Structures are given as structure tokens and as C-alpha cells.
A = this chain, B = another copy of it.
């Protein structure tokens, strides 16, 4: 058994896209890990921004959380509509492309591809932070733990995951349970605490500056919303009636997300928990509520698991989206065939490498990655909702005005938030994404143009049948007489009656010796000796080929290259690659074809 087989599993024989249909309960687990897991870091991201501006700013954390929760409601209601209008799956790429045109579709697609990469990076680094918070001495090994987790997820996905709802259900519901218990017990404990009002710190900020800080904290907290669109991509996986079940699941997800996010933020605020370099907010909160008992470790463990699951969902989403975009001719064809295990692997490997590079570049630090995260998500929200607005205007249908208003509200709100995120986090990293999106769009357009051009050039629609070549000459460049050359001469004689061997003379003595041997081994093929005043081998040879080509203008030439095939790959490194060089030049000569005749070495 090879290492590859061991790691990746046997090749899949017959290709079936068999999805078990899921119930609402399982669907919630399958599609919500990305969204729900973000409560593990969203509150912390808000506080990190506020703490920089002074702990007096903490009083804004709850208002911000309320704002974000309202946003969750708006976006969820918007997507609820999409689910019913695009029952076969309405990802932002499809909705935007259908309604707003190619450019909007590509912008949404590029944003989502970036988003999937960042989901992997942020979720894994945040999951590892949950572990290192509980077991502090692991903190020094953050990057190694991140990469190890990434490798495990990658290998699992290369083996091909059966998207079994059961695998997802347990950690997701355990996480929900853990957080709900944490919030309940926390609220109970809190009620016995005296209410400490926020310190009225001396105001060191101007009003404008304070607004900026609050907006930036809000922008950071918006990472809570990543993944909320997942259900709308997977409608077909639900049991019938699909759209209705998906919609109900989406509603539940938004509710649970809102409750957990608000609860954690409220408790963090009331218990006066401060962000720390080495321990997450959630870990501190759990310690405060439960002290360091078994339930504390349960919370940290389930947090790690759901974050790893969240990363894992991107390993399904990224190859799927790139396959759709490749089928539309915007990404390399090798990514296109759905269900082909090899093709799927390409997407998995690309995603794994890019997110791995990100985690190493940012030292596995969640906070450093966050500013890159939300821009793409909100841009795709905006494009998707705007697409829906256009959709209603075009097709109208029952109750379209109400639907239009809902989606327009969603589009407007997310557009404003996109601008807020891009503006307040620009220098902290959002600029990278703002640059990357148009670059990816440009690449996809170039790819599309190339495919169209190739298919035009290869088309036989206006072609006439070909006429046969009037002549076929064979030229065999040789550097001496050895077994590979004998092999090449024999082959040359089999494919043409006009064969000549060509030798570039660098040393008259060697030439004399060659001529003497030629009578015995030449098989009657004429030997052409070329002079080389500048000791170059390539130039006289190419000149000779051009001469022959000019003599038979309607003919074709085959340059037969004697070659030996070594037994081991590293042997290739030990031989001069003149033949490859000659082939490279001939490749661009019209009417000349090159052929290597291999002699197989035994040792």
C-alpha cells in the first residue's frame, strides 16, 4: 500500500453525487457550524478594538452587539426570500450573475473564494486559540497546531467526506448546549453580583474619533455574520418541501446565533472581562462562571470542534464554487468536473495551501486575520441582495413589492456595512482583500477570453478538408554513433524514404571516425556533415532544417531525436538536455514535427 493510498484512500470507481436528504434538525447542524462558531471570536474582536481606545469604551459593547444582531435579522430575512426564489441553490455568484450581469457575478464569486480561504484560516486559528487558552503551554506552538489541524482536515477531505449529518450533529449541538448552559448559569451568577457601573473615564477622544472607534468595533463584530448564507447554497440537501425546510432552518440558525452572541457579549461586559494575548474571552468567561472544572474543558473542547467543522465546510464550498465558475469558463477547466475526485482534490489542495500560507504569514493570530475577513462576505451579501432586488423588478410575482422592500433593505444595510468595514479596517488589512478581489476578477476574465479564443480557433465550422502533404523528410541530428542513434535511424527509415542524419563537426578527427563507422551502421542513410564556425550545434542544425523546408514547400519534416530513457528519475539530472532544447525551438517552426525515439536503459 502506497503512502498516497494510505492517506487519500482508494480511487473512487463510479462517480455518484449521492446526498442523503437531511431533516431540519440535521440541516441546522450541517449548515450552521460556520455561522454559529463565529460567536467564539466575534465578541472578542469588538472588545479588542474598544480596549485600545480605553476601557471606558466598553460600555459600547452591548449597543454594538444589539446592532449586529439586528443586522443578522435583516440579512436572514433577506436570504429567506432568496431561498424561496432560488430553490436549486442561490449562492451569491449565481444570483448576482443572473440578475446583475457577469461583472457582478465575478465580484461576488471572487469575494466568496477569498471568504472561504479566510474562513479556514480564521476558524482554525480561533479553534487552536480555544485549545491554547485551556492548555497554556501549547501557546508557543500555535502555528504548528494550526498547520497540523489544517493537514488533518485536508487529508480527510482528499479522502472524500461522506457529508454525514451525524458527524456534524454531535459537535454542533454540544457546542450550542455548552454555550446556552454557560449563558444561563452566567446570568444566574450575574444576578447575585452588585451592578458595577462602567467607569466614567476622562474623555480623551473627540466625538468624531469615538464614532470611528465604535464603527470599527462594529465592523470587527460583523465577523459574527460570516457563514449565514450557507443554508441558501444547500437547499437541495433538505428533505421535501426543500425551500420551506431550509427557510425554517435559517430562521432557527439566526435566532440561536443572535441569542448566543448577545448572551456572551452581555456576560463579558458584566463580568468585566478584558481581552488578553494568551487567553480568549470565551475561555475567561467560562472560567469565571464555572471556575476551571470539567465543564470549562467541555466548553473549550466543543468550541475547538465546531471551529474545525466550520473550516471543514469551506472545504466543501470552495471546490463547489470553483467548479461552477470553471464550468462557466472563468477558472481552469481542471476544476470544472463535479464529482470527479481528482478535480475535487485540486480545489482542496489550492484551498489548503493558500489558507496555510495565510496562517503562517499571520502567525496563526485570529485578530490579525479578522480585518481581512468580513469585507468579502459583506460584498457578496450586498451583491446577492441587490441581485434579488433586480430579480423582483424583472419578474414581479405575488407580493413582490414587500419582497423588494425587504431585499432592498438588506442590500442597502449590507452595502453600508461593507463601506464601514472597508473604511475602518482598511489599513489593518482590508486593503489586501480590496486589491485581491479585482485582481481575481481580472484573472477570471482573462481565462474566459482565452477559452473562447481557443474554441474559436479550433472550430472546424468553416474549415475545408485538408490536402495531403506532398513530401515527408526525416532529419536525424546525431552527436556520434551509439545505440540510441541506431534505434533512431531504424525508426526514421520506417516513417520515410527521405532520411538524412546530420552531424555538426566540431572536431575533424571525431568526424573522420564517425564517417568510417557510418558505412557499417548507417543503414544506407546519407550522413550530412555541417560546419560550425562559432562552435554552436543548434544554429547550423536549424539552418539545415530551414533549407530542407524551403526545398519542399508543401512537405512536412520530422526531426527524429535519438534519446535514452534512464531507469530512475534522478538520472535525468545527469544528462545534457540538448534534445529538449532542440524540441523547444522546433515546436515553434511551422511544418516541422519533432519525435523522440526512446532507447530504454536497463541499469
Contacts and interface: CB of A to CB of B under 8 A. Distances in A.
A459 B472 contact: no
Interface string A568-597: 000101111000000000011010011111
A493 B521 contact: no
B495 A466 contact: no
B454 A466 contact: no
Given A460-B517, A593-B595, A466 B447 contact: no
A467 B523 CA distance: 8
A396 interface: no
A189 interface: no
A540 to B, nearest CB: 16
A489 interface: yes
Given A468-B494, A556-B494, A573-B332, A454 B598 contact: no
Contacts of A332: 573-574
A483 B460 contact: yes
A460 B472 contact: no
A468 B587 CA distance: 28
A402 interface: no
Contacts of A517: 460
B556 A450 contact: no
A514 B594 CA distance: 29
A482 B465 contact: no
A59 interface: no
Interface string A318-340: 00000000000000111000000
B489 A466 contact: yes
Nearest to A451: B574
B483 A463 contact: yes
A581 to B, nearest CB: 11
Contacts of A598: 587, 593
A588 B467 CA distance: 34
Contacts of A556: 491, 494
A454 B575 CA distance: 10
Nearest to A565: B587
A465 B521 contact: yes
A192 interface: no
Contacts of A460: 481-483, 486, 517, 521
B483 A459 contact: yes
Contact of A521 (B463, B472, B520): B463
Interface residues of A, number: 64
Contact of A454 (B13, B450, B472, B566): B566
A600 interface: yes
Nearest to A555: B494
A597 B601 contact: no
Contact of A458 (B482, B571, B574): B482
A453 B603 contact: yes
A420 to B, nearest CB: 37
Interface string A476-497: 0000011110110111011110
A481 to B, nearest CB: 6
B495 A574 contact: no
Contacts of A173: none
B459 A482 contact: yes
A137 B287 CA distance: 44
B523 A593 contact: no
B482 A494 contact: no
A465 B333 contact: no
Nearest to A577: B334
A575 B482 CA distance: 38
* Candidate in A454, A521, A555 with the most chain B CB atoms within 10 angstroms: A454
A451 B573 CA distance: 12
A464 to B, nearest CB: 9
Contacts of A566: 450, 454
A204 interface: no
A366 interface: no
Contacts of A558: 495, 595
A469 B484 contact: no
Given A486-B466, A565-B588, A13 B601 contact: no
A490 B472 contact: no
A602 interface: yes
A484 to B, nearest CB: 6
A206 interface: no
A576 B343 CA distance: 11
Contact of A468 (B334, B465, B483, B523): B523
Given A468-B493, A597-B593, A575 B333 contact: yes
A469 B457 contact: no
Contacts of A494: 468-469, 472, 555-556
A534 interface: yes
A600 B590 contact: yes
5 contacts: A332-B573, A454-B564, A466-B486, A468-B494, A469-B491
Interface of A: 13-14, 332-334, 447, 450-451, 453-454, 457-460, 463, 465-469, 472, 481-484, 486-487, 489-491, 493-496, 517, 520-521, 523, 534, 555-556, 558, 564-566, 571, 573-576, 587-588, 590, 593-603
| 8 nearest A-B residue pairs (beta carbon) | A458-B482, A469-B494, A495-B495, A472-B494, A595-B595, A466-B490, A453-B603, A332-B574
Given A460-B486, A466-B490, A595-B595, 14 more contacts: A333-B574, A333-B576, A450-B571, A453-B601, A454-B566, A458-B484, A458-B599, A460-B482, A460-B521, A466-B521, A472-B494, A495-B558, A558-B595, A593-B596
